[in-house]
Amino acid sequence: MTECGECRKERLKGAFCRVISVVALIVALAVALVAAEFPMVLSVAEGASMSYICIEADSGKVLDESNADARKFPASTTKILTALVVLENMPLDLEFRVDDSAVGVEGSSIYLKRGEIVTVGDMLYGLMLRSGNDAAVALAVATAGSVERFAAMMNDRARRAGAKNSRFVNPHGLHDDGHYTTARDLAAITAEAYRNEDFRRIVSTSSVTVGKGENTRVLYNKNKLLSRLDGANGVKTGYTTKSGKCLVGGAVKDGVQRISVVLGATCDMWQLSEKLLTA
């Protein structure tokens, strides 16, 4: 029997649709296998929308949250964990020579010089007030001997703070697909940091003068919450093109320390943080 033209078209159309369905199934299975094999890379979908949370620091009680368990790139809010690890392992008055690897690190900087002698305390101010990526590397190398070993310390400390869905590969938060956290994890890490008196003092400082002689620096805090919100006492801003705008805030309301985390902000992060910290 001779097949008519219309029937042939329908048959070929059906065959084509079946092929497309099979290809789509294969692609979906491949993606699932890759995700299972390489869970340390943040997916596009996870990073696409804003997430936030607000907790009571001492009790861990969640006051408000949205999308709080989505993996996000934390940018410089990473430095909260960096500061915690340094504070728990290094004396503030310890002097050390800036490692060459810390000179000229891209992004935010306090412009450390090759061979400069600094103190741990001064570098923590440079880390948390001015978000110095060079200060982050200098502290990491001074604490652990290398960025890689310091990152291992960061991951261990994050787990002990209760973080369950985070991975850190550097001390500053410059973009890396394998460097991520969640709003919930970062809130838990920050709550742990707030138990450290020196941390609370540093992140609540509006401005400070550090260094000596030609290496004297006047550092101003980038955290606008300190001047915008009564009771604000921290904590850290962050931004990369892939993380979007990030802000971890701290404030005391009715005698209770609150911590807010906003990652990948799609609105005014300052207003949202103020609302979370005061509602």
User: Which residues lie across from 51 on neighbouring strands?
Assistant: 263
Question: Which of the residues are catalytic?
Answer: 76, 79, 131
Long-range contacts of 57-65 (CB under 8 A, 24+ apart): 57/190, 57/191, 57/194, 57/250, 57/256, 57/257, 57/258, 57/259, 58/191, 58/256, 58/257, 60/162, 60/188, 60/191, 63/258, 63/276, 63/279, 64/276, 64/279, 65/183, 65/184
